[in-house]
Amino acid sequence: MGLFVFTMFFNGGMIPTFLIVQRLNLLDTFWALILPTAVSTYNLIIMRTFFQSTIPFELVESASLDGCTDLGIFFRIVLPLSGPIIAVMVLFYGVGQWNAWFPALLYISNHALYPLQMVLREVLIESDISNMAGSSGDVEIIGDGLKYATMVVATLPIMCLYPFLQKYFVKGVMIGAVKG
């Protein structure tokens, strides 16, 4: 765990990460957005804490005594009990990737590969430029409406995701509350 925490204090930085992505020929691909942030130390610590506090060692030990292999223990015991943490990690990574525009700014130059946040950024910049150019009031109102509609469209999928994951959060809170 000390090695994981060490990486949180001393990360490589933007330039070394860019050079690695460039040398792996990942520029102008979606992999450039996914791979550098695929594993988060903070999320690993959260998952480790969940597994240590939620899944009893006795359960794993009894399964191994019954002849279950490590993969069997994982798929038959650990994974079914891990619904809440999987939902949390999906939400953390999903929202993080959804809102990330800076990696796309660094690694993607092809406009056809831009994620939604980069398209939203361009719409907002173009709207501000047209407003500064001294356009008429009608064009300014249309530009503002387009800007606000784009923001709603960008946040709507994440807002729709929360109610479906809510049951896992409630279930995760209730696991420790009820003793059998």
Domain boundaries, the chain: 2-175
Contact status, residue 142 vs residue 133, Cβ threshold 8 Å: no
pLDDT of residue 166: 75
pTM for this entry: 0.71
The architecture in CATH of the region 2-175 reads Orthogonal Bundle (1.10)
Per the model's pLDDT, the better-predicted residue between 34 and 133 turns out to be 34
pLDDT tops 70 at residue 137? no
**Count of C-beta atoms within a 10 Å radius of residue 52:** 9
- DSSP secondary-structure letter at 76? I
Residue type, 169: F
